[in-house]
Amino acid sequence: MMHIYKSVDGKLKQTETAEPGCWISVYEPTQDEIQILTEEFGLDTGFVRSCLDEEESSRIEREDGQTLIIVDTAVAEKLEKSETFQFYTVPLGIIKTEDYVFTISLRRNQVLGAMADGRISNIQTQFRTRFILQVLMQISAGFVYYLKQIDKISYSMEQKLSGAMKNQEIVQLMGLEKSLVYFTTSLKANLVTIEKIQRGRALKLYAEDEDLMDDVGIEFRQAVEMATIYSGVISAMMDAFSYVIANNQNSVMWRLTIITVIIEIPNIMFAFYGINTDTLPFRSSWVYAVLITAVLTVITGIILLKRRKF
């Protein structure tokens, strides 16, 4: 899909034709749209190919008057077979030319979707450098938002810690930990790219954009710190879950052992009195055997319950 936007009177509006100062948003492009990008708009073929590569790492590059910025963006996806979410990252390519700013991705980006829908104020597409910085700022905000969601999920799972008995909680925590690894790696790579932009060599920065550039760097550094902290918390929770599950299983095994011992006493007594011999005491009536069995069962149960470990 290809959409063209331009700021008109302080508001972002979609247009049918591309004009200088427009933002051209491309996601899930068809072969025809890729051909339009490379032939009609003259974008570098390698740049477009890099934007559509899921394994592409964050970087900045210049070629023939075009500037390519690739950054990783945070994505959340709800799993079909469960109520849990899967968090991962997807590369987003930003190409700056003399007249336009292109954003190219394999799938629709929620951050760019919010900008296109007008939920982000003060977007000025004609100021290309500032617009790119605003996109980077929203990308960092997206990481922070999903990091907070991960923290909320881990907190809700922490409330279930004392009664944990299954491996499902550990599997969910492993998924969150893997997501945080993806986030941390992507954020650090993005931060390197941001620092390159701050030097002003790959992207011309204007005096009025310096504060916004500093804010972008601060936001990404805070996101890296948050991801690192949450990753440590998740790791500690996984260890705690393992210990709690092992302890709860030991308690269950202790209960089952007590029940087994108590049930075994009647079996032993009735087995003795079922022997075909006259040497056993109180052989004359089954009442005595029942009473002896009941007394031994009660005494054993009391002793085991007083020494219980749960």
- Give the domain ranges of the chain: 2-151+165-247
- pLDDT per residue as tens digits for the range 246-255: 777 777 787 7
Tokens of 141: 């905000």
Check if the beta carbon of residue 101 is closer than 8 Å to that of residue 95: yes
């491996």: which residue's tokens?
A: 167
- pLDDT per residue as tens digits for the range 142-197: 999 999 999 888 888 777 665 555 667 677 788 888 899 999 999 999 999 998 88
- Write down the pLDDT at residue 77: 83
The set of residues, in sequence order, having a beta carbon less than 8 Å from that of 3 and lying 6+ positions away, is 14, 24, 25, 26, 116
Q: Can you name the residues that pair with 68 across neighbouring β-strands?
A: 61, 95
Using alpha carbons only, how large is the chain's radius of gyration in Å?
Answer: 33
- Write down the pLDDT at residue 11: 79
d(CA 208, CA 113): 26
122: left (phi over 0), alpha (psi -120 to 50) or beta: left
- Write down the pLDDT at residue 117: 80
Q: Which of 216, 87, 60 is nearest to 139 (CA)?
A: 216
Task: Report residues of the chain scoring pLDDT below 50.
Answer: none
Tokens of 113: 């979707």
- Write down the pLDDT at residue 260: 82
- Strand ranges (E), 37-65: 59-63
- Write down the pLDDT at residue 308: 61
- pLDDT per residue as tens digits for the range 211-231: 888 999 999 999 999 999 998
d(CA 205, CA 128): 10
d(CA 50, CA 59): 10
CA dihedral (158, 160, 163, 169) positive or negative: negative
- Considering the domain 2-151+165-247 in this protein, what is its CATH number? 3.30.460.20
